[in-house]
Amino acid sequence: MKVHEKNKGGFEQLKADCSKCSGLCCTALFFSKIDGFPENKKAGKPCIKLQNDYYCKIYLELEKHNMKGCIGYDCFGAGQHVTQVIYKGETWQTLPEQSEEIFNVFLIIFQLFQIRYFLEESKIIIPAKELWSDIQKMINENKALCNSTPESILDIDIESYRNKVNIILKQVCNFVIKSFKNSDNIEITDYLGRNFRKRDMSGLDLSMKLLIASNFESCIFDGTVFLGADTRDADFSNSDLRDAVFLTQGQINSAKGNTNTKLPKHLDYPVTWT
């Protein structure tokens, strides 16, 4: 059974383009060295590897330096939206008196863009077709929130909004899982570091599961739900993820794979996989 309709959606605005950003992820966020970032740093402080042109000094060598936190991070395009759309090209450097506001707006827009990513995919998931109309209304609401003023954005109750969206995302997950019953996998409760090589993982709900360092080489993931799963160092070499559900670029960046791994069309192959 095919999961996605033509595997297309409104994903283009949800792809990070660092060339149009002002290093917001490298400045606004708190970093912990133990999580694979260059240093322990407070939110609002530029990373020691961030250059004046907002490019990372070691971007092409992140794997060499074991910067797994940086490799796995993805802002869903929030950075360039804040820089180019909300602040019209101004940055936390050109508007130092508004830097704290800019950082706080980015943190909210990042969450809104992440939520919209899941809504955009939900809109093309065939088993959840009866929900598409309601999902489109939520996407329209999300876009309106993201294009409002900084003052309005800072007033958003993001937790309340997330809880509202989660209701429909859970419905989508239930539709998918019911469409891909896989009795062989019912008893699996622990995935951390385990070997599932060549197994059919279709129809599993891996939401929020720890998949760290698991071996999924040559597995099939039709209708498998990855919402919030931790994929750090999981090996997807030669696997088929084309019809996986709620799989993100950040999860792929954090995992291992190769050019034989089949990805959803809206995701890109990490440079570390080549």
In order along its 274 residues, the chain shows pLDDT tens digits of 789 987 667 898 999 999 999 999 999 999 999 989 999 999 999 999 999 999 999 998 998 999 999 999 999 999 999 999 999 999 999 999 999 999 999 999 999 999 999 999 999 999 999 999 999 999 999 999 999 999 999 999 999 999 999 999 999 999 999 998 766 666 788 999 999 999 999 999 999 999 999 999 999 999 999 999 999 999 999 999 999 999 999 999 999 999 999 999 999 999 888 7
**Domain count within the chain:** 2
Let me know whether 151 and 240 are in one domain: no
Segments forming the whole domain that contains residue 95: 12-178
> What is d(CA 119, CA 28) in angstroms, rounded to the nearest whole number?
25
Does 116 map to a domain? yes
Does 130 map to a domain? yes
Does 27 map to a domain? yes
Does 5 map to a domain? no
Angle between helices 132-146 and 158-179 (to 10 degrees): 150
Q: pTM for the complete prediction?
A: 0.94
Let me know whether 190 and 204 are in one domain: yes
What confidence score (pLDDT) does residue 271 get?
82
Does 2 map to a domain? no
Let me know whether 171 and 194 are in one domain: no
- Return the SS3 of 31: strand
Q: Of 158, 178, 198, which one is at a domain's C-terminal end?
A: 178
In this structure, what CATH number is given to the domain that contains residue 186? 2.160.20.80
> What is d(CA 156, CA 165) in angstroms, rounded to the nearest whole number?
14
Let me know whether 77 and 211 are in one domain: no
What confidence score (pLDDT) does residue 203 get?
92
Q: Of 178, 203, 219, which one is at a domain's C-terminal end?
A: 178
> What is d(CA 217, CA 198) in angstroms, rounded to the nearest whole number?
6
Place of tokens 């969450």: 111
What confidence score (pLDDT) does residue 189 get?
84
Does 6 map to a domain? no
